[in-house]
Amino acid sequence: MMGSKSTLYCFTYELHKHHIFLINLPFIKLIIQSLMTKNQEANAKNKSLSSKIFSNFSSDSNILKAALFATGLSGIVAEYVLSTLATYFLGNSVFQWTMILSLMLFSMGLGSRLSKFMDEFLLEKFVIIEFALSILVSLSALLAYVVSIYSSFNDKLYIYSFELDGTVIYMMSMLIGLLIGMEIPLVTRLNEAYEDLRVNISNVMEKDYYGSLLGGVFFAFIGLPFLGLTYTPFVLGAVNFLVAIGLIFQFRKLIDARYLFLIRSGALLVMAVIIGGFLFADDIINYGEQKRYKDKVVYQDQSKYQKIVVTQWKNHHWLYLNGNQQLSTFDEWLYHEPMVHPAMKLYPGVKNVLILGGGDGCAAREVLKYPSVETIKLVDLDEKVTELASNHPIFTTLNNNALNHEKVTVQNGDAYTYLQKTDEYYDVIIVDFPDPKSIEIGRLFSLEFYKLCYQQLRPNGVVIVQSGSPYYASKAFYCIEKTVAEAGFNTVPLHNQVLTLGEWGWVLGAKSIPQEQLKPTLRSLHFEDIETRWLTHDAMSLITSFGKGLIKLDSSEVEVNMIHNPVLPTYYRNGNWDLY
């Protein structure tokens, strides 16, 4: 039969080849059409089967890679959350971020190593790891605050000289890294049934890295600014949970019956943790926040840069940034008057003033007491601080609504960048930044920064710099003075006793007043024409006078603080704070 069909085909082909058309042979045409139809049906059937097999393989493989993408996203954001918490609880942001991310990567290596001992039930173990990640990530911030509460009731509670809350944060970082490290090899091994090694490794690592990028964007632009440290972890936990549910649904026929009870129980537990935590997280964190402060917390917010807290005692309020006191309404004038008025008085008829930092508005309030002032530019990094000072009744009352005054322009941004780009010149620059505890803040106390200040000041211009405590951080204080002098200023250190802060100080720099005349000129200043609560002519002799230091200090050993040689944060951290 096959032979006759072949003969018929060849015969027909030959006729066609020689342009001979068979018009009166319907039987032969019917046979040819029948054979062609059967051939097309067979090809379509094979194609459909191949497409279905490929679709199944593609779907299974894609959900594995999607799981890794989601894990990369939630894992890296969890580490960012823990790094932010460590900075908040322990300080020194560069150190905390460096160590936590390094420990995470190290733990990922350990997790990868441990995964090689998993020989069977890989899918089931991957789902269980996802559940574990969901719980750990969701509870990361809550655990840190709960431990902080516990520590507040147990003073000086340490584990091998490490603070308990810091120890828990670092342990969580390592656990999360360990689990993520297990997941990547497991997904690679599960996916090898669908892709060859070259494509498999490439796709798996690609999806994990892409997830990390999206996680970073999410944390910077959505998580921290809008969800805060309260709810961001629960969003991440939900991502891991949904990934696990998706895996269970996609591979439900492949899950071993012995693991079904464990997986179902795990799913219910994780769901309960996420929902319960989401409902009660705010109350727990607020309680933990309250325990960090001796007075009642009346306001708190999380900006992109820091935690903002306001507390109340009787009729007075305290402002804290990342747990560090910035001011108190009880005595803030003892800080702001010595910082503002000596510099303003040294430049008669001052018109244009630049305030760098000072987002609370109190320095601007003092500057506005001079009728000659025409413009005040205030540059502060954190818009949430300046919004608080511009709108909240506590601060608008405190700063006399200074930030809403027609002479004041508020610009949110980096002060260093502003000085690099501005073409404006000023008579007085007031530098009111937080203490230089970290490298990023130390950059704003650098030689390069003060040279920019010098450049933007008019010929007789004056700068004054918040410089911390001359007694509790002596080396840091004199490092700032030496750095300001190195930028070309003639300098005089000032200090005053601020009741809620202790002994605090500033460094004043003048471009044109000779060094030998600077201190006598300051001591000759009068303030009768300016409304002050504390500062007087006699007080100028006090704030320009220093007794012997609490520690012996060889000025030749104090280095200039520079961006490429940031010695100031180390000087500050190594100060004699035990006397505080």
Domain identity same for 35 and 68: no
- The CATH number given to whatever domain includes residue 129 is 1.20.1250.20
SS3 147: helix
Q: Which residues are 355's β-sheet partners?
A: 378, 430
Q: Is position 300 within any domain?
A: no
Q: Please report whether residue 467 resides in a domain.
A: yes
User: 245 and 366: one domain?
Assistant: no
Distance CA 508, CA 489 (A): 9
Catalytic residues: 432
CA dist 243 and 437 (Å) reads 41
Place of tokens 């820091």: 306
Task: Report DSSP state, residue 255.
Answer: S
Joined together, the tokens standing for residue 462 give 């004056």
- 513 located within any domain: yes
Residue 452 and residue 559 in one domain: yes
Place of tokens 């894609």: 62
- Is residue 323 in some structural domain? no
- Whether 305 maps to a domain, the answer reads no
Contact (Cβ atoms closer than 8 angstroms) between residue 246 and residue 63? yes
Residue 340: give its domain's CATH number. Answer: 3.40.50.150
In this structure, the strands spanning 457-466 and 502-510 are antiparallel
Look up residue 249 and give its amino acid.
F
Number of domains the chain contains = 3
With respect to residue 311, please indicate whether it lies within any of the assigned structural domains: no
Per-residue tens of pLDDT for the chain, all 580 residues: 444 444 434 434 444 444 434 344 455 555 555 555 555 554 444 444 334 333 444 578 888 888 888 888 988 998 899 998 888 778 778 888 999 999 999 999 999 999 999 989 999 999 999 999 999 989 888 888 777 766 654 555 444 445 677 888 899 999 999 999 999 899 899 888 888 888 998 988 999 899 999 999 999 999 988 888 888 999 988 988 988 898 888 888 888 888 989 999 999 999 999 998 888 888 877 777 787 788 999 998 888 888 899 999 999 999 999 888 999 999 999 999 999 999 999 999 999 999 999 999 999 999 999 999 999 999 999 999 999 999 999 999 999 999 999 999 999 999 999 999 999 999 999 999 999 988 889 999 999 999 999 999 999 999 999 999 998 899 999 999 999 999 999 999 999 999 999 999 999 999 999 999 999 999 999 999 999 999 999 999 999 998 876 667 777 889 999 999 999 999 998 887 766 6
Q: Are residues 46 and 57 in the same domain?
A: no
Task: Give domain status of residue 185, yes or no.
Answer: yes
User: Of 50, 65, 85, at which residue does a domain stop?
Assistant: 50
Is 543 in the same domain as 566?
yes
Q: Are 361 and 403 in contact (CB under 8 A)?
A: yes
- The predicted model scores a pTM of 0.77
Helices 164-191 and 122-152, interaxial angle, to 10°? Answer: 170
Domain finish residue from 50, 67, 84? 50
Give yes or no: residues 41 and 124 share one domain: no
Nearest to 124 by CA among 244, 235, 234: 244
Q: What is the 3-state secondary structure (H, E, C) of 189-241?
A: HHHCCCCCHHHHHHHHHHHHHHHHHHHHHHHHHHHHHHHHHHHHHHHHHHHHH
Within this chain, do residues 13 and 121 fall inside the same structural domain, yes or no?
no
Q: Is the same domain home to 228 and 252? A: yes
Domain edge (last residue) among 273, 291, 309: 291
438 Rama sector, left if φ>0, alpha if ψ -120 to 50, beta otherwise: beta
| 87, 39: one domain | no
Q: Which residues contact 315 (CB under 8 A, 6 or more apart)?
A: none
Residue 321 covered by a domain: no
Residue 40 shares a structural domain with residue 138: no
Exposed / middle / buried, residue 421 (Cβ in 10 Å: 0-12, 13-18, 19+):
exposed
CB 567 within 8 A of CB 559: yes
Tell whether 55 and 44 lie within a shared domain: no
Do 365 and 265 fall within a single domain?
no
Can you give the residue range of the structural domain that contains 228?
Answer: 51-291
